[in-house]
Amino acid sequence: MCADANAAMRYQAKQKWLEKNFKYKSEGNKYHNREAGYKKSLNDNVIGFSRATSDAYSKAIYARGSAMKQTESLMKNYFKKQKSAQAGRSRSYRRSGALMQLLFAKGQLRNKVRNKFGRDQALAYQGNLRKKQSMDAKNRKTLGFMPEYGAPVLMPPSDRFSTFLNTAIGIAGLFGTGGPFSDIKVKENIKYVGSSPQGHNIWEFNYKGDSKRYRGAMAQEVAKINPMAVGIAEDSAGKYLTVDYSKIDVDMVEV
């Protein structure tokens, strides 16, 4: 079995993919832990807001009860003074003065209760609501954003043919192989004319510097179908691929 020429790049890509997956899972676990805390904080803020609103209403109820108790005390005091008031103009004058004091005190208590159930309640509600919203925003900022998986890691394809071809070239350089030059590097004016039953493409061409036309195969293509039919030849210009036509179903002929 030929070694993979892209093995190192494929290993690096796999390591990168593993590191990416580990980081994504780690960041994902951290996010989900923060999310659980965030949901709990939202629930706590709702409970806190509800309690603060209820407390403000309870204070208003207490203020109303206190006002009613004070009103009752004022009424008792008023009637007590009436019993002890002296006859004549002095009694009538004191009666009217005490009544005015009673009505004034009752009016103050009524306004106090009205404020507790009106303006003070509204102010307390808005203050508690803003506090809840501020805490919600702070918790949302702490939560952050869910991690993204990111762009895919591309895995380079395996390349065992290059290893085989390089090995074949090395062996052929030592021992040499027969067959006509079929390297595409030495040909020109190449024209496709068909294919053989084994799947080899058939081409017409002439060698560079020679006008004669030939018909045959290309060594680079033959190597992909039948590597054993490909060899190496060497001359002063360098090394070239050759084809042993006895091992394929295409003939090398002059046109």
What was the pLDDT predicted at 49? 86
pTM value surpassing 0.75: no
What was the pLDDT predicted at 193? 94
Q: DSSP secondary structure string, 156-173?
A: PPP-HHHHHHHHHHHHHH
CA pair distance 119, 97, nearest whole angstrom: 32
- Contact 202/180 with Cβ under 8 angstroms? no
pLDDT in tens, the chain (255 residues): 455 666 777 788 888 889 988 898 998 898 888 888 888 888 888 888 888 888 877 777 777 777 777 777 777 776 676 665 544 444 554 555 666 666 777 777 777 777 777 777 778 778 888 888 888 888 888 888 888 887 887 777 776 655 555 544 444 433 334 456 788 888 999 999 999 999 999 999 998 888 899 999 999 999 999 999 998 887 666 788 889 999 999 998 988
